[in-house]
Amino acid sequence: MVAWNVKGCIIPIITPFDDRGEIDEPALRKLVNYLIEEQAADGIIPCGTTGESPTLSHEEHHRVIEIVHDEVAGRVPVIAGTGSNCTREAIEMTQAAEKVGVAASLQVGPYYNRPSQEGLYQHFKAIAESTSLPLILYNIPARTGRNIEPETVIRLAEIDNIVGIKEASGNILSAGTIIKGTREKGLDFHVYSGEDAVTFMILCLGGSGCIAAVGHVLGKEFSQMCRLVWEGKVEEAREIHYRVLPLVEALFCEPNPTAIKQALKWMGQPAGTLRLPLTQLSPNGMQILRTAMVRLGKAAEADCV
């Protein structure tokens, strides 16, 4: 098995766009440092869904990975989002990211195609065989239209360089089944919560942390929650879970990363614009987010305009 022991709060970084809709490189570099220095990121993922990867050209996709890898400068692992619903394309993007020098790759389940479980297995197997990078699977059936079933994940975990999964189905039983099944086989496989509202529960089942969009705003809290569970201080971790939950829910009141970008602006960080088909937060969404941020002390009322 390929060695991999990254645990904690891994943050899928947004992609800031300027007023012309182009990648804002200075803003992206500033955000990298903000996530590491102020939000205690244990890893950073460029070009995930939170980074609006479906709107990036191949050239932009590769450039974002290069910028993030360069600015991180080895301080935390960089895990490049290089998945696709085209196996050949995923292989090409993964190999390009490997040449940049990233630590690992995040591979989303093929979307739209709705492949069988055998198709999913063969897709990820082909990518794994094309690279020496550790691969983290990404299960988010609400977006892809197909669940990667626990049995398929456990089977994939036997491939040397498939080292973990971002489990964003929201199904706690599935997460537990994967953790139990891989441990019974003696596999060092990491389950990361990809549904931020259930991170505490997955940690208690034996999860390795989270890949959390809310880490842009709540990275320190989620990192601390992880460590408290691992230290056996479950009551303290539970307190954090319930305290931040209203803001977690508010940050997903509209399609991600709409609210994340608005929250960053209110916190004085560069977030830039959104690319269509995403549009800015609605007035109702603004109110929901504003209320949650002010109550948790993440922004002053006067800043939320």
Contact predicate 21/55, CB 8 Å = no
Q: Is 125 a catalytic residue?
A: no
Q: Exactly one of 138, 192, 261, 298 is catalytic; which is it?
A: 138
Q: 């089942």: which residue's tokens?
A: 205
Could you give the CA distance from residue 231 to residue 166 in angstroms, rounded to a whole number? 22
Q: Exactly one of 7, 166, 261, 298 is catalytic; which is it?
A: 166
Q: 């997955």: which residue's tokens?
A: 202
Contact predicate 153/178, CB 8 Å = yes
Q: Is 138 a catalytic residue?
A: yes
Helix (H), strand (E), coil (C) string for the chain: CCCCCCCEEEEECCCCECCCCCECHHHHHHHHHHHHHCCCCCEEECCCHHHCHHHCCHHHHHHHHHHHHHHHCCCCCEEEECCCCCHHHHHHHHHHHHHHCCCEEEEECCCCCCCCHHHHHHHHHHHHHCCCCCEEEEECHHHHCCCCCHHHHHHHCCCCCEEEEEECCCCHHHHHHHHHHHHHCCCCCEEEECCHHHHHHHHHHCCCEEECCCHHHHHHHHHHHHHHHHCCCHHHHHHHHHHHHHHHHHCCCCCCCHHHHHHHHHCCCCCEECCCCCCCCCHHHHHHHHHHHHHHCCCCHHHCC
Could you give the CA distance from residue 135 to residue 130 in angstroms, rounded to a whole number? 11
Could you list the active site residues? Answer: 138, 166
